[in-house]
Amino acid sequence: MPTRTLSKPEIEARSAFRHQLRLFERSGEDAARKYGVTFPQYLVLLHAKGMPGRAWALVGELAEKMLLEHHSVVGLVSRCEVAGLIKRKRSADDARQVEVHLTAKGDRTVNSIAAAQSNEMKALNNFITSAAKRAK
């Protein structure tokens, strides 16, 4: 139960933010499709390459980043592997864990899709920066 009623300008700001966020997501969906992958497959590639300090991820880490169940990510990883986008490796530290590494094709794919979203990323960043300044 909300503790207060939001003002009309607050609702408008949330609507504008959601719209800008959706434009960014949609551009990613369109770019992924253009490069022959689904948006969730792109997110697997993005999160694996985007892990701090390394360019691979554990399946469990991908599930956490994508807010999905472990078994759902296993299916996505399997489809990415069949498509030649990733390779799985057993962790040297813990054989129960699986590392997801991008192939050269996966690396090219994630870079192409991310680059195709540059304008939308800048627009979203500008929107958030502007909204933060207005909120001060």
Backbone angles phi, psi at 89, to 5 degrees: -140, 140
The sign one gets for the Cα dihedral 67, 5, 130, 27 is positive
Instruction: Choose between 112 and 130: higher pLDDT.
Output: 112
The pTM score is: 0.90
Instruction: Choose between 127 and 39: higher pLDDT.
Output: 39
Describe the crossing of helices 118-135 and 104-116 by its angle, rounded to 10 degrees: 50
Report all structural domains of the chain as residue ranges with CATH numbers, in order of start. Answer: 13-127 (1.10.10.10)
Q: Using one digit for the tens of pLDDT, what is the confidence trace for 66-122?
A: 999 999 999 999 999 999 999 999 988 888 899 999 999 999 999 999 999 999 999
Mean pLDDT taken over the chain: 93
